[in-house]
Structure 1
Amino acid sequence: MSSLPAMTSSLATRLRVLILGGTAEANRLAQVVAKDPRIYAVLSYAGRTENPAKPPIAWRVGGFGGIDGLKHYLMAENIARVVDATHPFAAQMSSHAIAACAAANVPLLALERPPWQAVAGDRWIEVDDIGAAAAALGAAPRRVFLGIGRQHLAAFAPHPQHAYLVRLVDPPRAPLPLRDAEMVVARGPFDRAGERAMLTKFCADMIVAKNAGGNQVSAKIDVARELALPVIMIRRPFVPARQKVETVDEVLHWLGHDAAPAERGV
């Protein structure tokens, strides 16, 4: 699936930018650069979410075919800059972007959310990966909210003594790999009132979450603190060193196209 206009002479004079998306920050960047006639940007979705919102710039869905495929795309499309605004847990895509940009000699900048930090009242059990999170639930039966998406649910199948609540963006195409599971299909953002109602109705006594980060802590983490629920917090995966910033304005400065005041209010 794609929406890529044919290259014209007018496009040739614009800065050609590839945005690796999948986050609210990527969408925000797309909204801003769409109003800048000096930039021609393409937003790339990984394709894990069905029917993504159509951005105001050219876009594509799906992988590139590994490092070599991404390198070929960058060269074929005359991409001058790449902004990696993928999810902090999309480590493979980020690593591929580092290698492909180096091979194609294309500058790369990561737009990366700062990780969440535990504060007073949080009951975090920090682990390194999904397998460790499943093991950390323990032997005693628990009622667990899995705030991890659909990709890694199978890791919890060997722990059938627990009851799970799973929230997904899209309805699953196959049965969940969990013996005792309830499912909620919904798209964020989610507020505290809704998270509290959901967790209370399920009688959750533990939460499993990825440290997705952001300037505002997730509502489910706030509610876990309020309800004194333990949170198994999965640390971010390793990504090789790269230049990174935390705000859209910093990306625009790097592109050499700082936003005008009207654009900052988008």
Structure 2
Amino acid sequence: MKNILILGGTADARNLAGKFAARHAVTLSLAGRTENPVAQGVPVRVGGFGGAQGLATYLAENRIDLLIDATHPYAARISANAAAAARLAGVPAIALRRPAWERQPGDRWTPVDSAAEAVRLLGARARKVFLALGRQELLPFEAAPQHSYLIRSVDPVEPPLSVPHAVYVLARGPFSEADDRALLETQGIDAIVSKNSGGQATYGKIAAARALGIEVFLIGRPHLPDMPSGAGVDEVLALADHAPGFRKRGE
């Protein structure tokens, strides 16, 4: 039995932890940004490590045999720290990197580099905008109070945005295309701002926007460090069996 640390916060990480737990000792690390995370089914560590050096120390002190980065595709700082910590500690590391969504016929995508660029490109005319973003990315939209915003999040947005028109919906995915289409139509949405998260759990809004002809401002993915990676849980499981030094360290 080997010691595995999974950096999580995603459904993929939770599924991966469950698969590994049948054969290994697994700890799932959560950043702690969600107030009421889904039950994980394995031992959980909540909170940061203190950068790459802090994570490297944790890996050494807890005799971790394999580090898996299964964080959100936009958690660039955590991914960079994971890669650096693995090198410092001499621990093999792999990543779960789900593919980005690909443009389909009928999509009205406007690529942007950031939420701030999306704010600028939304324009001066008042629009009804669905902000499909984390709480940390919402603040730039206070600079465009002419728009009406629909904000869906797992936890309440505190404090609320300083804008005159905002509707808050508390919900946890996955979200179906049918449900998201009903939401967009009910709220009269004519623009969406979203990250290109990939996967199926939040793809409903993208498919619904295509069907309704709604413009989507899609924030591009950040650069992530190079490391062996799989596109899904099964690929990561296969990679783990062949991670350099993994078998040797665990035996």
1:138 CA displacement:
1.1
Unaligned runs of 5+ in 2: 243-251
What secondary structure is seen at the aligned counterpart in 1 of 2:140?
helix
1:170 CA displacement:
0.9
1:165-214 deviations in whole A, cap 9, x for unaligned? 00010123322233321110111111122111111111000000100012
Partner of 2:57: 72
TM-score normalised by L of structure 2 = 0.92
Question: Judging changes above 3 Å, is the alpha-carbon distance between structure 1 residues 166 and 215 closer, same or farther for their aligned structure 2 residues?
Answer: closer
Partner of 2:76: 91
Tell me, yes or no, if the aligned pair for 1:153 and 1:177 is still in contact at 8 Å.
no
Within 5 A, what are the aligned runs for 1:117-266? Answer: 117-214=102-199, 218-256=203-241
State the superposition RMSD in angstroms: 1.4
Tell me, yes or no, if the aligned pair for 1:148 and 1:208 is still in contact at 8 Å.
yes
What secondary structure is seen at the aligned counterpart in 1 of 2:135?
coil
Amino acid at match of 2:183: M
Tell me, yes or no, if the aligned pair for 1:171 and 1:185 is still in contact at 8 Å.
yes
Equivalenced residues, count:
242
Partner of 2:15: 28
What secondary structure is seen at the aligned counterpart in 2 of 1:151?
helix
What secondary structure is seen at the aligned counterpart in 1 of 2:136?
coil
Distance in 2, Cα, partners of 1:46 & 1:218: 24
1:150 CA displacement:
0.9
Partner of 1:5: none
1:216 CA displacement:
7.2
Tell me, yes or no, if the aligned pair for 1:165 and 1:181 is still in contact at 8 Å.
yes
1:63-109 deviations in whole A, cap 9, x for unaligned? 11111111111111111111100000101100110111111111111
1:102-127 deviations in whole A, cap 9, x for unaligned? 11111111101100010100000001
Tell me, yes or no, if the aligned pair for 1:153 and 1:178 is still in contact at 8 Å.
no
Tell me, yes or no, if the aligned pair for 1:192 and 1:223 is still in contact at 8 Å.
yes
Question: Judging changes above 3 Å, is the alpha-carbon distance between structure 1 residues 202 and 216 closer, same or farther for their aligned structure 2 residues?
Answer: closer
What secondary structure is seen at the aligned counterpart in 1 of 2:94?
strand
1:31-77 deviations in whole A, cap 9, x for unaligned? 111222xx111001111111212222111111111111111111111
What secondary structure is seen at the aligned counterpart in 1 of 2:143?
coil
Q: Percent identity?
A: 48
Work out whether 1:82 is the aligned partner of 2:67. yes
What secondary structure is seen at the aligned counterpart in 2 of 1:221?
helix
Tell me, yes or no, if the aligned pair for 1:116 and 1:217 is still in contact at 8 Å.
no
Distance in 2, Cα, partners of 1:143 & 1:93: 33
Q: Which runs of 4+ in 1 moved over 4 A?
A: none
Distance in 2, Cα, partners of 1:156 & 1:239: 26
Distance in 2, Cα, partners of 1:98 & 1:59: 21
Partner of 1:6: none
1:254 CA displacement:
2.3
Distance in 2, Cα, partners of 1:57 & 1:240: 27
1:215 CA displacement:
5.7
Distance in 2, Cα, partners of 1:158 & 1:215: 31
Question: Judging changes above 3 Å, is the alpha-carbon distance between structure 1 residues 30 and 99 closer, same or farther for their aligned structure 2 residues?
Answer: same
1:134-183 deviations in whole A, cap 9, x for unaligned? 11111111110000121111111111111110001012332223332111
Distance in 2, Cα, partners of 1:104 & 1:206: 46
Unaligned runs of 5+ in 1: 1-13, 258-266
